[in-house]
Amino acid sequence: MLRTHTRLLASLALALGLWLTLAGTASATPIGPGAFGALAVVESFEGVATGPNVVIGLGASLLEPGTVSAYAFPTGVSLTSPIPNPGYDLAGPFLHDFARGADVQNNWGANGTVNDAGDVPVGDAYLGAFAVSGTVSFAFGFDVAMDRVGAYVTGAGGSTIRLDVYGAGGALLESRTMGSVPVAQWGANFLGIENLAGIESVVFTGTDFGIDGLTFEASPVVVPEPGTLSAVALGLAGLLGIAMLGNRSPSQPARTPPAPRPL
C-alpha cells in the first residue's frame, strides 16, 4: 500500500505540473487588426516635431527621427535601430508626414505613388525606408512586453515585408512575411503576430516599404477567482489525505482513543 500511494502522489504531482506547463505555454499566431482588444495602442507617426533628435531629410514633410539616440514616441514605443539614423538616402528610416506639406512623393513603381494623406492608412503620416540594393530594416522596442504587435504594410511592387518579433534577451520568437499591395489596398494589408512569450522588440525588413498604424497590446494579468483557487486547494488536500490514509501498514491497526478514567 505504501508503494501504491507513493506512486499516486507522484502521478498527481506530475499531472499538476503538466497542467501548469500547458496553461503557461506561449502561443504563436499570425493575426489581423481584429485580434486586438480595448488595451491596444496605435502609433500613427503623426505630430513629430523637429529638434536635436529629429531633422528634416527632404523638403518639409520628410523627417529623419533618431539622428542622435533612440526616438521615443508618446505611445510607449521607441525607434531603436538604426541609431544614429544615417539618413533616408543611406537606408535610414524616414517619417513622411503630409500634415507638414505634400512637397515629397514616394514612388513604389507598380504599386503606385504615395502622394498625399489620402494614400496613408491611418492619419497623415507613415514610417518608411528604402535601400539602393538589398534590404533595409528598422526596429522598435517597447516599455513593457507585448502579446500582440502588427502594422499596415506595403512597398515597392513585387516586394515582401518581414516582421520579426523578439522576446527576453533578444531571443527571436518568430517571423512572418507579407507581400506588398497597391497603395489603394494598403489599409487592408495588416502584418501581425501574437506571441504570449512576451514581445519586447520587433524588426520590419523590406527593400522599399512603409508601415503605418503600428499596433501593440499587452494582455492584462488574469488572477483566478478566490472560489477557483479554493476548489483546487480543497481537491488537492482531499487527494493528499486519501493517499496518506492508504500509507498505513496493515500490521499497524488504527489506534482507538483510551477509555476515560474513573473519578
- Return d(Cα 210, Cα 201) in angstroms, integer: 18
CB atoms within 10 A of CB 118: 10
Is pLDDT at 143 greater than 50 in this prediction? yes
- Return d(Cα 99, Cα 14) in angstroms, integer: 60
CB atoms within 10 A of CB 55: 15
pLDDT at 236: 44
224 compared with 197, residue with greater pLDDT: 197
Q: How large is the average pLDDT for residues 4-28?
A: 43
- DSSP type of residue 51: B
17 compared with 50, residue with greater pLDDT: 50
Q: How large is the average pLDDT for residues 194-200?
A: 97
pLDDT at 220: 73
Report yes or no: 48 and 95 within 8 Å, Cβ to Cβ.
yes
Give me the residue spans of the domains in the chain: 2-20+223-246, 32-217
- Return d(Cα 238, Cα 18) in angstroms, integer: 20
- Return d(Cα 106, Cα 204) in angstroms, integer: 18
Phi then psi dihedrals of residue 94, to 5 deg = -125, 150
Report yes or no: 165 and 145 within 8 Å, Cβ to Cβ.
no
Query: How far, in Å, are 75, 255, 257, 258 from residue 261 at the CA level?
Result: 79, 18, 12, 9
Is pLDDT at 155 greater than 50 in this prediction? yes
Is pLDDT at 242 greater than 70 in this prediction? no
CATH topology of domain 32-217: Jelly Rolls (2.60.120)
β-pair partners for 36? none
- Greatest mean pLDDT among 20-24, 97-101, 226-230 lies in 97-101
Give the tens place of pLDDT for each residue, 45-58.
999 999 999 999 99
pTM equals 0.76
Nearest to 159 by CA among 104, 193, 205, 118: 205
- Return d(Cα 77, Cα 75) in angstroms, integer: 6
106 compared with 29, residue with greater pLDDT: 106
Report yes or no: 62 and 56 within 8 Å, Cβ to Cβ.
yes
